[in-house]
Amino acid sequence: MSDSHTIDLIRQGGQPELGKIYETYRKEFLHWITREYHCSEDDSKDIYQVSILILHDNIKAGKLTDMGSSLKTYLFAIGKNIARETIRKAQRNTPIAKERWLREYLIDETEDPTYDTIFSAATRALNALGEPCRRLIEMYYYERKNMEDISIQLHYKNADTAKNQKCKCMARLRKLVERDLTETRISSTL
């Protein structure tokens, strides 16, 4: 299967396609990362899972439509950066969890620490949001589905209805975040 075909499948697909790409490069990647960086079997798998998720997300975001290098080269470059950074941080006795890697991929850690407070509040607010809002905004912002696909999958009348619903869900989420931040500020002053 060509890279462009794989990219098309991932952009249109979901977890089944993620599972396929995971299996495609798994053996070669694990062999390579273990040999090059002397990683344990578990660490190699952790690095591979994070690398695949970043590759997958970049494809979804449309960042890899016109690549100068192959999908495999790109994937291995992601893995190389994670392995090097893991080794560098490990020397400072800082264990790196997979979730932390994913968070670092989404948010620059050098940013203002107050943003971290907003992020934590947003995570809590998201859990309080409920369905179908939660699923809708996840499909839009994470899976990068268009409103047409969302309306079909979530049984909305049309793309416009889905878009209106998405705006309402985001407004609700912002309110929940504001409330959480207010409560946090109050509790910290007590």
Partner 1 sequence: MNNPQNDITLVERYFEQTLSTEQKEALETRLRDDAELRKIFEQERQIIAAIRLEGLRKDLAFLEERERELTARGREVYINTQWRYLAVAASIAIIALVLFKPWLSQSDRLFKQYFQAYPNVFETTVRGGEQAGTGAAAYQAYEQGDFETAADLFTILVRENNDPGVLLLLGNAQLMNDDTDKAQATLLKLLDEHNSLDDEAKWYLGLIALKEGRAEEAERYFAEVASADNVFSPNATDVLSRLRD
Both structure tokens of 161: 């209805």
**Angstrom distance (rounded) from CA 172 to CA 188:** 24
**8 Å CB contact between 51 and 40:** no
Binders in 115-174 for partner 1, by CB under 8 A? 115, 118-119, 122-123, 125-126, 137-138, 141-143, 167, 170-171, 173-174
From residue 16 to residue 35, the character string flagging contacts with partner 1 as x (rule: CB under 8 A) and all else as - is --xx--xx--x---------
By beta-carbon proximity to partner 1, the closer residue of 7 and 177 is 177
Q: What are phi and psi of 87, to 5 degrees?
A: -65, -45
CB of 38 to partner 1, least distance (A): 20
CB of 31 to partner 1, least distance (A): 13
Q: How many other CB atoms are there within 10 angstroms of residue 147's CB atom?
A: 20
106 within 8 A of 23, measured Cβ to Cβ: no
106 binds partner 1 (CB under 8 A): yes
Are 125 and 173 within 8 A, CB to CB? Answer: yes
Length of the chain as a residue count? 190
Residue type, 39: C
Beta carbon nearer to partner 1, 23 or 66: 23
Cα separation, 17 vs 52, whole angstroms: 12
Closer of 69 and 107 to partner 1 (Cβ): 107
Q: Is 190 in the site for partner 1 (CB under 8 A)?
A: no
Nearer to partner 1, 28 or 138 (CB): 138
Provide φ and ψ at 131, rounded to 5°: -95, 155
The answer to whether 21 and 52 are in contact (CB under 8 A) is: yes
Residue 91 CB, shortest distance to partner 1, in Å, is 25
Stretch of 1-9, 11-19, 87-95, 154-162 contacting partner 1, by CB under 8 A = 11-19
Binding site for partner 1 (CB under 8 A): 15, 18-19, 22-23, 26, 45, 49-50, 52-53, 56-57, 98-99, 102-103, 106-107, 112, 115, 118-119, 122-123, 125-126, 137-138, 141-143, 167, 170-171, 173-174, 177
